[in-house]
């Protein structure tokens, strides 16, 4: 998606450790034109895929997932993060290693909000090593729901998480695909090239 790439090029900052900072338009201050177009593009990509629910992880996935769900006319659910694995109730849980914080957390969804009969679109802001998406897949499958696919705002293809999940047969669509990046430049994967 052209606007996503332009904003990354103009406002993104590459930090040491392979983290792209997008606080000025996606993670803290949210650009609403970008958000609207992101929701529309995700809805276009998954039109006809039978999605009846969108699932993400708090916090940074919520805005994008809500924008997509709004365009698709379906509800959005987000997994809550807990520091301990001590979670009670009729829930599904998964342990996810956070790429940006370097620690594990338990993500939790109530079975009241996700279950058999749901065909779920997973949404997140970034795809790096794939841990967050694997957690969302696990929650969906434990709940007895079906994964329709995933939609990601920014995939860092050089970290390989997307490739591994595509090899497992999951449909993954990314709106901006980064081939490589350093402090001076971000290089995108062009359409038609392998992600
Ligand atoms: P993964 O689990 O695929 O390794 O990483 C994805 C998760 O880590 C996303 O939920 C996202 O919040 C965070 N993340 C990974 N890489 C980046 C990055 O370069 N910038 C930002 N802002 N978040 C990232």
CA dist., res. 126 & res. 174, Å (int): 9
The per-residue pLDDT for range 86-95, each reduced to its tens digit, is 777 899 999 9
The protein residue with its alpha carbon nearest to ligand 1, atom 8, reads: 99
Work out which ligand 1 atom sits closest to the CA atom of 15. 19
Cβ of 38 closer than 6 Å to ligand 1, yes or no, is: no
CA dist., res. 94 & res. 141, Å (int): 11
Mean pLDDT, range 46-60, rounded to an integer: 97
Is residue 179's pLDDT more than 80? yes
Question: 86 C-alpha to center of ligand 1: Å?
Answer: 25
The per-residue pLDDT for range 57-95, each reduced to its tens digit, is 999 999 999 999 999 999 999 999 987 777 778 999 999
Q: What is the mean pLDDT of the chain?
A: 95
Mean pLDDT, range 104-115, rounded to an integer: 96
Is residue 195's pLDDT more than 70? no
The pLDDT assigned to 194 comes to: 66
The residue that leads in pLDDT, 127 or 101, is 127
The pTM of the full predicted model, rounded to 2 decimals, is 0.97
How would you classify the pairing of strands 104-110 and 76-82? antiparallel
Look at the block and give the residue holding tokens 């696919």: 149
The pLDDT assigned to 170 comes to: 98
CA dist., res. 78 & res. 57, Å (int): 5
Mean pLDDT, range 34-41, rounded to an integer: 98
Cβ of 24 closer than 6 Å to ligand 1, yes or no, is: no
């Amino acid at each position: 998606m052209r606007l996503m790439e332009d904003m990354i090029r103009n406002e993104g900052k590459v930090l040491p450790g392979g983290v792209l900072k997008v606080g000025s338009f996606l993670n803290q201050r949210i650009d609403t034109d970008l958000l609207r177009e992101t929701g529309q593009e995700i809805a276009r990509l998954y039109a006809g895929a039978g999605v009846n629910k969108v699932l993400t992880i708090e916090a940074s996935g919520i805005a994008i997932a809500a924008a997509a769900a709004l365009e698709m006319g379906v509800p959005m659910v987000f997994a809550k993060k807990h520091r301990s694995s001590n979670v009670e109730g009729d829930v599904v849980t998964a342990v996810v290693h956070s790429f940006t914080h370097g620690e594990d957390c338990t993500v939790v969804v109530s079975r009241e909000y996700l279950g058999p009969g749901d065909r779920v679109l997973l949404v997140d802001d970034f795809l790096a090593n794939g841990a967050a998406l694997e957690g969302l897949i696990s929650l969906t499958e434990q709940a007895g729901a079906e994964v329709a696919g995933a939609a990601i705002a920014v995939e860092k293809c050089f970290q390989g998480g997307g490739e591994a999940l595509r090899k497992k047969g999951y449909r993954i669509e990314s709106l901006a695909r980064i081939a490589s990046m350093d402090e001076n430049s971000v290089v995108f994967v062009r359409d038609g090239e392998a992600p």
